[in-house]
Chains A and B, each alone.
Chain A
Amino acid sequence: EIVLTQSPDTLSLSPGERATLSCWASQSISRYLAWYQQKPGQGPRLLIYDASKRATGIPARFSGSGSGTDFTLTISSLEPEDFAVYYCQHRGNWPLTFGGGTKVEIK
């Protein structure tokens, strides 16, 4: 099973600031990584897939990068609606797994 480790656990930032979230895989997963956003009481929303491709309707301020074992989600300028929990997920092999999540909170 591939283990995904996210860092940091919590990111405290102000609106307008840049957010950088990390996800490390326990073995190489090429570019088979997605990022999701989840707000309280809601199902997750797919943001990024295949490491850097934005899903339909996702604003350009969200970008993803990385390959192999190291991945990054960047939010270039935080909007009020971006404060949420973010998860990474791989599709390298079965079983699929998620990272533990990073909470982006208002400073």
Chain B
Amino acid sequence: QVQLVESGGGVVQLGRSLGLSCAASGVTFSDYGMHWVRQAPGKGLEWVAMIWHNGKNKYYADSVKGRFTVSRDDSKNTLFLQMNSLRAEDTGVYYCATDIGSGYPDSWGQGTLVTVSS
């Protein structure tokens, strides 16, 4: 059974950087593309980024392009999201999710909360 555990969230000041991790177990990690999706407090879901299973292609939402970088380390079964130049509107719960190649996030973690404060 797939288990995804996000970590690295916390309170960070406007304009600073933060890195998130997502540890996967119960799957052959290198077979899966991976997504990051976020949710502002009391709001809906917003897709953030995606990396192919082989790491060769990466896609980003316009709202984070040029500021966020998605990467992966298959030897550690871990997905990363480096977030720079953080804004107040980046506040929310960040979820990682697997993608077997369908284009849909299929199994999700419980999320990690990022709060950007002034």
List A residues at the B interface (Cβ < 8 Å): 1, 32, 34, 36, 38, 42-46, 49-50, 55, 87, 89, 91, 94-101
Contact = CB atoms under 8 A, between A and B. Distances in A.
Given A43-B95, A44-B105, A44-B108, 16 more contacts: A34-B104, A38-B45, A43-B97, A43-B109, A43-B110, A45-B108, A46-B105, A49-B102, A87-B45, A89-B45, A96-B47, A96-B59, A98-B37, A98-B45, A99-B44, A100-B44
Interface residues of B, number: 23
Contacts of A44: 37, 45, 95, 105, 108
A25 to B, nearest CB: 15
B70 interface: no
A interface: dominant SS = loop
Contact of B102 (A36, A43, A91, A97): A91
B89 interface: no
Interface of B: 35, 37, 44-47, 50, 59-62, 95, 97, 102-111
